[in-house]
Amino acid sequence: MLQWKKKPGEAVAIDEILIEIETDKVVLEVPAPAAGVLVAHVVADGGTVVSDQVIAQIDTDAKAGAAAPAAAAPVAAAAAAAPAAAAVDKGDVAMPAAAKLLADNNLSVAAVAGTGKDGRVTKGDVLAAVAAKPAAAVAAAPKAALAPVAAPVPMKLGDRPEQRVPMSRLRARVAERLLQSQSTNAILTTFNEVNMAPVMEMRKKFQDKFEKEHGVKLGFMSFFVKAAVHALKKFPVLNASVDGNDIVYHGYFDIGIAVGSPRGLVVPIIRNADQMNFAEIEKKIAEFGQKAKEGKISMDDLSGGTFSISNGGTFGSMLSTPIINPPQSAILGVHATKDRAVVENGQVVVRPINYLAMSYDHRIIDGREAVLGLVAMKEALEDPARLLFDI
């Protein structure tokens, strides 16, 4: 859970955003199901909740400023009933998944009727009990029983301060997936340099007309997406994934674009990129950028993907080894374009050079396909007409 948008005692309108809840992929905005007054927060900022859990109480008849403490009586009754319920012999019988839910929702195994074998409490039993729990009783639950609040903990170290901040769900999930990628893929990276002058000249020549015609700026990323699709068509294994002992070749090109957001890295997907023109790709990238900035990237935006592009050049990176986004098998790293001295026809000349890096899963992609795939991207960028004629 992230942050409440309304305080107890404040009036809320139906569908007004009450709170933002962070999952391991996106931030969800939860609207008010009815108009009224927010009586109480059941879970504090930073707490942990599960699906269908009651998180607040709204009094549809009260007026603003009247946060009702009247829920204390039901809570007291519930608390008094708990020891008695605990006396019921359940035979220590909570399934593992159910036990976690019981702990998350401050329930005892004795308080839930088990429907499993020998009266065991299942995950479904706990979810049913949570859904049926009286709203008033839940709303006034003692704060000590709530999930811990993820607040910064300052450390008193004189003039050498530290601050301990728990990872957000999104950051923890990103860390988990990166470790998974490195532990399950045989990652190798190949590099090449690209003379970006032809792309820069084409962009300069057409960017004003392009923006007037399509209502979006012509950036560089659409060229990289087009070049990537161009190479993936030539070397389909770069667009494949591993499923057990099978190699899955995808007959479509869904390109993930790594986007930095205030809450961490997300990789929304441009679907069927091979069927899109430059303007459609630029509009989609702009849309993702705005959504990431506002924290409105959806689960659908992040689902799937057959190949990814990471643009560290936005932040000035010269070179990096990008980590594969599982279950994909390859990723392109794009870096900052800088004027560099290169040799052409025996002469040292200055050219705007971009170093490209492609990491790939060596379990299914051999060096030949990886190197030639990156060369195909390089050739497409150094002669953009190839992208127009698909050659």
Q: Which tokens is 169 given? A: 């769900």
Which listed residue (208, 246, 366, 390) is catalytic? 366
Collapsing DSSP to helix, strand or coil, 284 comes out as helix
Report whether 41 contacts 66 (CB < 8 A).
Answer: no
Say what the alpha-carbon torsion angle 258, 280, 26, 41 is, to the nearest 10 degrees: 140
R_g (Cα) of the chain, nearest Å? 27
Which residues have a Cβ under 8 Å from the Cβ of 347 and sit 6 or more positions away?
none
**Distance from C-alpha of 341 to C-alpha of 349, rounded to nearest angstrom:** 6
Burial 251-265 (b: 16+ CB within 10 A, else e): eebbbbbbbebebbb
Q: Is 246 a catalytic residue?
A: no
Helices (H), the chain: 72-86, 96-104, 123-132, 135-139, 169-184, 197-214, 221-234, 278-294, 299-302, 367-382, 385-389
Considering only CA atoms, which of 193, 184, 233, 237 is closest in space to residue 366? 237
- What are φ and ψ of residue 376, in 5° steps? -60, -40
Strand-pair category, 255-257 with 269-270: antiparallel
Q: Is 362 a catalytic residue?
A: yes
What is the DSSP secondary-structure string of 165-199? -PPPHHHHHHHHHHHHHHHHS-EEEEEEEEE-HHH
User: Measured on CA atoms in the order 156, 159, 160, 166, is the torsion positive or negative?
Assistant: positive
- What are φ and ψ of residue 113, in 5° steps? -75, 120
Active-site residues: which are they?
A: 362, 366
